Structure 1
Amino acid sequence: MYTIKKYNISHYDQWNEFVAESKNGTFLFHRDFMEYHSDRFQDFSLLVFQEKKLVALLPANRVENVLYSHQGLTYGGLVYSDKVKLSSVITAFGAVLRYLNENSIEKLHVKLIPAIYHKYPSDEFNYALFLANAKLVRRDSLCVIEMLNKLPFSRSRRGDIRKGYNNKLLIIEEPKFELFWNEILIPNMQNKHEVKPIHTVEEIIALHQKFPNNIRHFNVYHEGKIVAGTTVFITDRVAHPQHISGNKDKNKLGSLDFLYNHLITEVFKDVKYFDFGISNEEQGRKLNEGIIFWKESFGARTIVQDFYDVNTKDYTLLDHVFV
């Protein structure tokens, strides 16, 4: 009943149209987003057909005998339409595992799409993973605000927001990525963690040009000089800060608190969720206490994102599920 095809450029329009109409896909699965870092990954994305009808996608890349869904994306797994039912997802996933096994891929590593990003209930894949004896190998904690049911900001946050007003900070939404990257983000990440941003400035500029409604950027100024900023990724239901940083005076000026008060109470007040992202290190085993304290002081609370390993030979476990 099911046929698996490896993605190629002839599927470009079909893939993107399916993502746009899916119940659990976001713009991160659009081929224009996935391929900005195609030089770093061996793409092995799959399309699942039931007879001639496309019913699911798996954004993925291959490293030797392991398939990842997808290492260059924040989340992944099977993407499907609202018309696909649980039994079809189970059977389709079994077909995917069989295909991988027949192509000498021994393991599938999955980082699930957090439920807040689903347009409709979409945990069919989670259940299929359980049936295939998938092993939980990592769990990250995301700090999230449900915007229509917000908790109050803490007293300390309110005090730091007032600093921003008292210091007459100015927030401007503008695509001045180079200014933020070169003056704030890169120096901060280098000084604190000796790492680089996950996107180069050239990459984020190119992505913004392709997805101007999904990628928005805000800079904060004090007396005409940039002091902080953030780049926000927006999906149908979620606003997620992808990059955030302030200069060494951020606590004195209240720049980040002032900025995030503006984003939460004004700019993104009508979205379903505001996702601060993770505060984890070491594959989810460690928690950055200072960062999570800051996020929770805005009223954010925890949901989890799970990561699983599946042995592809276990596709046979999905052959005998239905009674």
Structure 2
Amino acid sequence: MKNYTVKLYEKNDFQVWNAFIGSAKNATFLFHRDFMEYHSDRFQDYSMMVFEEGKLVSVIPANKVENTVFSHQGLTYGGFVFGEKIKLGEVITITKSVLAFLHQNEISTLQLKLIPSIYNHFFSEEIEYCLFLTEARLIRRDCLSVIDLEKPFLITKTRKESIRRGEKNNLVIKEELNFELFWNEILIPNLSKKHNAKPVHSLEEIINLQKKFPENIRHFNVYFNGEIMAGTTVFVTDNVAHPQYISGNEKKNELGSIDYLYNHLIKEVFPEKCFFDFGPSHEENGKKINQGILFWKESFGAKTTVQDYYVLETKNFVLLNDILI
């Protein structure tokens, strides 16, 4: 049986960590340290690195709150990240090593927010099997609305009519770096009015992140007679285009601005991607579904996949003894 060493990430591991992320089978740019550390002041980082005789074989983006370690709470997804050549037996032993490391460091529980399968480069569900073996408990399941761009999908008649309204109104779509207009005139006011909330990323943060990841963070605005009507910020990975932010003004339905924009993104900007991920439509940690939002996404031809959240006790590392017979 192979021996693995687990250590906490340190600043001098920056290049080694990022090189591994660049070649992993289930990683995206969100796991790059330049992305993770934009909010380092809000989280106590507890990211882990697993080595086999000096070779990095897995990383776990994570943060710590008291005696619980989380798949990094500042990221949309996380969990164990592996290289493409990893085998199931190795994953079982790596998982045992990580849980034992946490247990020895007085961490009682680990909460994992798994990366949705559409973001993986290869099949990567070994960790789900390990969660079964360690008696992990499913605590949340989010429904994601996703278009499989490699298969035929049907846009409804109602949505097509709205798209045609955008065409008739001569709406103009521009990809640009002008986040200020969208953030200050549409996104922030709408979130404040409708949800008493703020964007996850401040204006300064999204501008800085886009500069570091220009191919992965793209922004589009829609204009009518020179005035901004709507906009969206899209996070782009190898397989997936995912709108991170979307919002429009009070004329969005009348003009068809958002539908016109999304039809353009799906058919003209990202048709080479495997998936277009609208994200979740849930509330109350997946217990309730916003029917209006779900209807809108499904009217573009989106189908449902899920993202799972688990909690497991680190002492259960012993349950991974003698699995391989």
- TM norm structure 2: 0.99
Task: Please give the per-residue CA displacement for 1:144-175, whole angstroms capped at 9, x wherever unaligned.
Answer: 00101131100000000011011110000001
Task: Please give the per-residue CA displacement for 1:31-59, whole angstroms capped at 9, x wherever unaligned.
Answer: 00000000000000000011211100000
Range with greater deviation from structure 2 (41-50 or 124-133): 124-133
Partner of 1:179: 181
Letter of the structure 2 residue corresponding to residue 31 of structure 1: R
Letter of the structure 1 residue corresponding to residue 230 of structure 2: A
Partner of 1:162: 164
Alpha-carbon deviation of 1:126? 1.1
Partner of 1:210: 212
Partner of 1:316: 318
Partner of 1:225: 227
Task: Please give the per-residue CA displacement for 1:251-300, whole angstroms capped at 9, x wherever unaligned.
Answer: 00100000000000100011000000001111110101000000000000
Partner of 2:252: 250
Where do 5+ consecutive residues of structure 1 fail to align?
Answer: none
Where do 5+ consecutive residues of structure 2 fail to align?
Answer: none
Partner of 2:103: 101
* 2:124 maps to which of 115, 122, 125: 122
The separation in 1 between residues aligned to 2:175 and 2:146, in whole angstroms, is 23
The separation in 1 between residues aligned to 2:120 and 2:287, in whole angstroms, is 26
Partner of 2:112: 110
Partner of 1:77: 79
1:140 aligns with 2:127: no
Partner of 1:8: 10
Partner of 2:300: 298
The separation in 2 between residues aligned to 1:269 and 1:186, in whole angstroms, is 30
RMSD (CA atoms): 0.6
Range with greater deviation from structure 2 (257-266 or 49-58): 49-58
Partner of 2:242: 240
3-state SS of 1:307 partner: strand
Alpha-carbon deviation of 1:320? 2.0
Report 1:55-66 matches (<5 A).
55-66=57-68
Alpha-carbon deviation of 1:65? 0.3
Alpha-carbon deviation of 1:242? 0.2
Identical-pair percentage = 58
3-state SS of 1:120 partner: coil
Letter of the structure 1 residue corresponding to residue 197 of structure 2: V
The separation in 2 between residues aligned to 1:150 and 1:49, in whole angstroms, is 43
3-state SS of 1:149 partner: coil
Partner of 2:267: 265
The separation in 2 between residues aligned to 1:66 and 1:258, in whole angstroms, is 44
The separation in 2 between residues aligned to 1:67 and 1:83, in whole angstroms, is 27
Partner of 1:131: 133
3-state SS of 1:212 partner: coil
The separation in 2 between residues aligned to 1:224 and 1:145, in whole angstroms, is 31
Letter of the structure 2 residue corresponding to residue 140 of structure 1: D
Partner of 1:28: 30
Alpha-carbon deviation of 1:310? 0.7
The separation in 2 between residues aligned to 1:202 and 1:188, in whole angstroms, is 19
Give structure 1 regions of 4+ aligned residues with deviation exceeding 6 angstroms. none
3-state SS of 2:279 partner: strand
Paired positions, count: 323
The separation in 2 between residues aligned to 1:151 and 1:27, in whole angstroms, is 28
Range with greater deviation from structure 2 (60-69 or 120-129): 120-129
The separation in 2 between residues aligned to 1:308 and 1:88, in whole angstroms, is 21
The separation in 2 between residues aligned to 1:211 and 1:163, in whole angstroms, is 34
The separation in 2 between residues aligned to 1:268 and 1:215, in whole angstroms, is 13
3-state SS of 2:320 partner: helix
The separation in 2 between residues aligned to 1:136 and 1:119, in whole angstroms, is 24
